[in-house]
Amino acid sequence: MYQDLKDNYVENMLFSANPLQLIVIAYDKAIEFMELAIEAIDAGLDNIDNLIKKCEYITKATEAVAILHDSLNFEKGGQVAKDLSHFYKVILEGLLIANQKNDKELLQNMIMMLSGVKQAWEELERREYGAKSVATEKASPSV
């Protein structure tokens, strides 16, 4: 029952979100999954379950960043879209390396980079849609 309520909440949030909120949500998910990957590394990769979790979390973070990249509109976005495309490609490459080398420091650096850009999207979303926006509301963890 709880899972059904959580699923309904997330579904309603996504369907009622404005486009900028969806971008912020994708950033939140990418960051969350990178943090979970770090936790799996910290728990010890000699345990196969932790190794599998780390790989799954990095895969999910990769999917979130790929969604961000695929949402770019190069016609409307011009140079900003090109710059974001390069940024997302750097993050995607970093995720590949972090997965191969179990590199927590690289994951932490990418979290900081994504967090900074996410703040800019949140500010843009507040300006466009007002201070009462729900962009900063978080979806349930690991959804």
Residue 136: inside a domain, yes or no? Answer: no
Here the CATH number for the domain that contains residue 76 is 1.20.120.340
Instruction: Select, from the ranges 2-6, 34-38, 128-132, the one with the highest average predicted confidence (pLDDT).
Output: 34-38
* Alpha-carbon distance values, 64 to 27, 44, 68, 143 (Å): 7, 25, 6, 12
Averaged pLDDT for residues 24-28: 97
How many residues does the structure list for the chain? 143
Residue 48 has pLDDT above 90, yes or no: yes
Averaged pLDDT for residues 36-52: 97
Provide the domain limits for residue 68.
Answer: 20-129
Global confidence as pTM: 0.85
Residue 15: inside a domain, yes or no? Answer: no
- Report which DSSP code applies to 131: T
Over residues 71-122, the pLDDT tens digits come to: 999 999 999 999 999 999 999 999 999 999 999 999 999 999 999 999 999 9
Residue 58 has pLDDT above 80, yes or no: yes
The rounded mean pLDDT for the chain is 89
Longest dimension (CA), the chain: 48
Instruction: Report how many domains make up the chain.
Output: 1
